[in-house]
Amino acid sequence: MAAKRVLVVDDDVKTVELVKLYLNRDGYWVLTAHDGIQALRLAREHHPDLIVLDLMLPGIDGLEICRILRDESDVPIIMLTARTTDQDKLTGLDSGADDYVTKPFSPRELAARVRTVLRRFPGERGPEKIKRGDLIVDFHKHEASLAGKPLSLTGVEFKLLGVLAKEPGRVFDRAQLIEKAIGYDFEGFDRTIDVHIHTLRRKLESDPIHPRYIKTIYGAGYKFSEVSSDK
């Protein structure tokens, strides 16, 4: 089996070399970049299996790189940043990041995060497009539409919709949605899932109080309605 390819992007050369050392020890083939322009070029040329991406970069910052790559691919992205507030974390996740590590960090912890994210996305990441009734979720383009009209979704909302729509009828509790759709756990995140479901319903449902697509299973979690799925 070919080694997984990881692109590590940070403007601090010592940080990049240390992370590369630990990932090499785990058997990954590591590419490195120190600015946003170089990072985009390497991502497009080499199609890495995962990207470790610093938020603050010269040329193009990490958030913009994340948004650009999300329009082109569904490569897993772990964001690195010194910003530590919950809102900063949500901003990174909404831009399309799959996980979030704050500086200073342990290289061993980061290597463990890489393993965890790659287990969640082990190469083949499911269908490129799902159609459920009037709803289309296009994972390749990172877009969703309802009755032919595009839905303006944040990164987290798109991930939640994708997780639920892939398995209609399955009930997901909050912890499962955190793991599958967001992948980052911090205090208060259970209720943050409820907020995201609420805003997603406002964009998706004609009657959010009586939703057609995303159902609440009281005491258990949420599910995507089987009634809405194409047969």
pLDDT of 65-101, one tens digit each? 988 888 777 788 998 887 666 666 667 677 778 888 8
Residues in a beta bridge with 9: 33, 53
What does the alpha-carbon distance between residue 93 and residue 22 come to, in Å, rounded to a whole number?
A: 25
Structural contact between residues 105 and 114, judged by C-beta atoms closer than 8 angstroms: no
- Identify the domain boundary among 120, 137, 170: 120
Picking from 77, 101, 120, the residue at the C-terminal end of a domain is 120
How confident is residue 22, by pLDDT bands cut at 50, 70 and 90?
very high
| Encoded tokens for 32 | 């490195």
What is the number of domains present in the chain?
A: 2
Domain that holds residue 72: 5-120
H or E element: which one contains 223? Answer: strand 221-224
Residue with token string 């205090």: 187
Among the candidates 120, 147, 176, a domain finishes at 120
Least confident of 60-64, 95-99, 186-190, 225-229: 186-190
Residue count of the chain, please give it: 231
